[in-house]
Amino acid sequence: MGCMMNADLHCHSVISDGTLTPEALAERAKTNGVELWALTDHDEVGGQDRALAAARAQGLPYLTGTEISVTFAHQTVHIVGLGFDAHNSGLVEGLRRTRGGRSERAQEMSDGLAKVGIRNAYEGALQYVGNPELISRTHFARHLVETGVCSDTSEVFRKYLTEGKPGYVPHRWARLQEAVQWITDAGGIAIIAHPARYGFTPNEEYALFSEFKAHGGRGVEVVTGSHSSPEAVRYAETALEFKLAASRGSDFHSPDESRIDLGTLPYLPGQLTPVWELLADRIQ
Ligand code: AMP
Ligand code: MN
Ligand code: MN
Ligand code: MN
């Protein structure tokens, strides 16, 4: 297979903060020429059976997936898991605990927004939620765009939903070690998602990669919708330095909001080991 494969191993459905169903995503992936697909909803595997069935119906090879929210060095880091047993009880229970607290957090976000004159944001965001356990900042962003407070979701994040802004509420997610273990114990591999997004100092980033490796992490996203091409080059080097396999995924959320569509990223650089080589026997 090598690196020249149109694998898209990162995207979101209505089960988390995407706007399409697993079935619509499978169809879109097939139409766009994806050759290996994974649905990676935030902190949730509730869409996996539907995604697999839909992929089968499209004749599209599939890997199970999720994207786990982790707190590391006072920041939120995302760990993608691929190729696990989606019914593994440790994983399912760990994710259920990680989702817990999202409703309270959302209420606090709404209280913060009310203080700057934006009322009933919780109720507004709920209108966009497909999974009651998974209310996310993205749903608030959609509501604030729809009601004309901001013109697009990135403006909402910039003005209201990031650290220091009125709708931001710090939150404690899973620990790095737990997330890696849940995935690994369920037979999958753990991958650091979009590393360029975190804004870590070089020391913090070194700590993230070293600890991730020590806990059994196996891969890093190199080509993603969240990386510029220089960032992809930089993390290709990091993958080689830490002997990690490389992953590729659009992080597609919505036809209206996402910059990169499913299956439209550049290929992985050729000198890397693609994660799908580690997962050949897990492809369904
Ligand atoms: P949460 O898990 O509730 O903290 O929400 C995180 C989600 O918000 C991410 O998975 C992205 O989908 C979205 N997000 C984060 N930052 C931005 C941004 N600057 N612009 C648009 N969406 C963002
Ligand atoms: Mn998201
Ligand atoms: Mn992410
Ligand atoms: Mn994502």
pLDDT tens-digit map of 61-72: 999 999 999 999
- Ligand 1 pocket member 151 (CB < 6 A): no
Amino acid 142: pLDDT: 98
Span 212-231, mean pLDDT?
98
- 267 to 57, 65, 179, 240: CA distances (angstroms): 26, 20, 28, 17
Ligand 4 centroid – CA 67 distance (Å): 6
Ligand 1 centroid – CA 146 distance (Å): 17
In CATH, what number does 7-98+172-282 get?
3.20.20.140
Span 252-258, mean pLDDT?
96
Amino acid 143: pLDDT: 98
pLDDT at position 242 over 80: yes
In CATH, what number does 102-161 get?
1.10.150.650
pLDDT at position 1 over 80: no
Nearest ligand, measured from the Cα of 134: 1
Q: Whose CA is nearest to atom 18 of ligand 1?
A: 154
Amino acid 177: pLDDT: 98
| Domain-wise residue ranges, the chain | 7-98+172-282, 102-161
Q: Whose CA is nearest to atom 20 of ligand 1?
A: 154
Residues 6+ apart with CB under 8 A from 19: 253, 254, 255, 256, 257
- Ligand 1 pocket member 16 (CB < 6 A): no
Ligand 3 centroid – CA 6 distance (Å): 20
Helix (H, G, I), strand (E, B) or coil at 26: helix
38, 10 Cβ separation under 8 angstroms: yes
pLDDT at position 131 over 80: yes
Token digits of residue 160: 């209201």
pTM: 0.98
Amino acid 78: pLDDT: 99
pLDDT at position 170 over 80: yes
Mean residue pLDDT of the chain comes to 98
Atom from ligand 1 closest to the CA of residue 17: 12
Amino acid 233: pLDDT: 98
* Separation CA 123–CA 121 (nearest Å): 5
Which residues are within 5 Å of ligand 2 (an ion), measured at CB? 17
Ligand 1 centroid – CA 280 distance (Å): 31
> Which of 10, 12, 17 gets mutated to test ligand 1 (max ligand atoms within 8 A of its CB)?
17
Q: Whose CA is nearest to atom 2 of ligand 1?
A: 136
Atom from ligand 1 closest to the CA of residue 43: 2
Per DSSP, 198 falls in state S
Amino acid 222: pLDDT: 98
- Ligand 1 pocket member 137 (CB < 6 A): yes
pLDDT at position 145 over 90: yes
pLDDT tens-digit map of 22-56: 999 999 999 999 999 999 999 999 999 999 999 99
Query: Of the candidates 170, 202, 175, which has an alpha carbon nearest to the alpha carbon of residue 72?
Result: 175
